[in-house]
Structure 1
Amino acid sequence: MQTALVLAASGQWSQFVAGIELLRVDWRDVLVAGGLAEGDWPERLNVELPDQDSVD
């Protein structure tokens, strides 16, 4: 959920706060907003949060 909040916020504090409010209503909507609601969520996380050992 934390990652979904951060991804949905896209660096905007107001979007982060809106995500927290959305989380209070329905946590699934936060997954959708963060792009982590579909079956490809592991790949999305790998793109957004690469393994630090493999970063050049």
Structure 2
Amino acid sequence: MPRKGVRAVAVHGAAAMYLLGILLAFVAPWVSCLFYATVAAIWFISDRRIESRIKQ
């Protein structure tokens, strides 16, 4: 999969998870926090600067 495709999936997935997190915050706050933490992990792992540091 090309790099731009991966980035697009991450952007759309993060937006969907944020929306679900907001909606679930009123019903199950712990699930909402789980979504936010997952989005943070997705962006942390896919950051190119971090990837380049790990490869060094």
Please give the TM-score of this superposition, normalised by the length of structure 1: 0.33
Q: Of Structure 1 and Structure 2, which has the larger fraction of its residues in helix?
A: 2
Answer 1 or 2: higher relative contact order, Cα 8 Å, separation at least 6.
1
TM-score under structure 2 normalisation? Answer: 0.33
